[in-house]
């Protein structure tokens, strides 16, 4: 990822889980209050690992774990930056249940990352960054490679995703 000029690649290959976390750290340093990041990908694709890196880059209180059963967790800032609202839409039945969470109530004050949010969470903000994570097709347990595809939507992301 290019930090110079704050340009994100449209596609990036990350050989290890640690590389995925490191990419998240760099991304977290670019995010600001009001940003929405929607994560998509199969189970085990690295969505939570990426979010852990984003949390580190933002400088928020952890630990960051998958919010699958609690649906959403707020991680306050340890400095002067925005908090991280980490949500998981996997167990939600649709837009009504997402609305019930009132994630939009604080959306302008926090960075919101929604796992399994594709098709639901985009409506939380006029602009959002979508990241699709795919695992290597190598079936061996040692294979950790991830391919991330980034797409920016709205004025905020125009020109920021190559």
Q: What is the 3-state secondary structure (H, E, C) of 35-91?
A: CEEEEEECCCCCHHHHHHHHHHHHCECCCCCCCCCCCEEEECECCCCCEEEEEECCC
> In the block, which residue shows the tokens 């085990």?
44
| Both tokens assigned to 76 | 């306050």
Q: Judging by DSSP bridges, how do beta strands 146-153 and 11-14 pair with one another?
A: antiparallel
Residue 66: what pLDDT?
A: 77
Whole-model pTM?
A: 0.86
Q: Looking only at Cα atoms, what is the longest distance across the chain?
A: 43
Please tell me whether residue 40 adopts helix, strand or coil conformation.
strand
Residue 70: what pLDDT?
A: 61
Decide if 122 contacts 102 (C-beta within 8 A): no
List, for residues 41-68, the tens digit of each pLDDT value. 988 889 999 999 999 999 999 888 876 6
Decide if 102 contacts 43 (C-beta within 8 A): no
Reply yes or no on whether the pLDDT at 115 is more than 90.
no
- How far is residue 103's CA from residue 56's CA, in Å, rounded to a whole number? 21
- The class that CATH gives domain 4-157 is alpha beta
Q: Kindly report which listed range (118-122, 153-157, 158-162) carries the lowest average pLDDT score.
A: 118-122
The number of helices, as runs of H, and strands, as runs of E, in the chain is 3, 7
Q: Judging by DSSP bridges, how do beta strands 128-135 and 36-41 pair with one another?
A: parallel
Reply yes or no on whether the pLDDT at 74 is more than 90.
no
Residue-range domain boundaries for the chain: 4-157
Residue 84: what pLDDT?
A: 95
Binned at pLDDT 50, 70 and 90, residue 4 comes out as very low
Residue 158: what pLDDT?
A: 85
- How far is residue 87's CA from residue 103's CA, in Å, rounded to a whole number? 9
Which residues neighbour 113 within 8 Å (Cβ) at sequence distance 6 or greater?
37, 39, 51, 54, 84, 85, 86, 87
Question: How high is the mean pLDDT of the chain?
Answer: 83
Residue 116: what pLDDT?
A: 74
Reply yes or no on whether the pLDDT at 12 is more than 50.
yes
């Amino acid at each position: 990822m290019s930090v110079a000029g704050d340009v994100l690649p449209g596609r990036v290959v990350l050989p290890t889980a640690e590389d995925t976390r490191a990419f998240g750290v760099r991304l977290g340093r670019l995010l600001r209050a009001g940003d929405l990041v929607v994560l998509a990908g199969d189970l085990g694709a690295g969505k939570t690992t990426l979010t852990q890196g984003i949390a580190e880059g933002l400088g928020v209180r952890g630990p960051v774990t998958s919010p699958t059963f609690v649906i959403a967790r707020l991680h306050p800032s340890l400095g002067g930056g925005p908090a991280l609202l980490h949500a998981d839409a996997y167990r939600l039945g649709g837009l009504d249940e997402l609305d019930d969470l009132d994630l939009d109530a604080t959306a302008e004050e926090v960075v919101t990352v929604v796992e399994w949010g594709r098709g639901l969470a985009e409506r939380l903000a006029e602009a959002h960054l979508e990241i699709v994570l795919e695992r290597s097709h190598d079936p061996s347990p040692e294979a950790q490679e991830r391919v991330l595809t980034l797409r920016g939507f709205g004025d905020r992301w125009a020109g920021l995703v190559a």
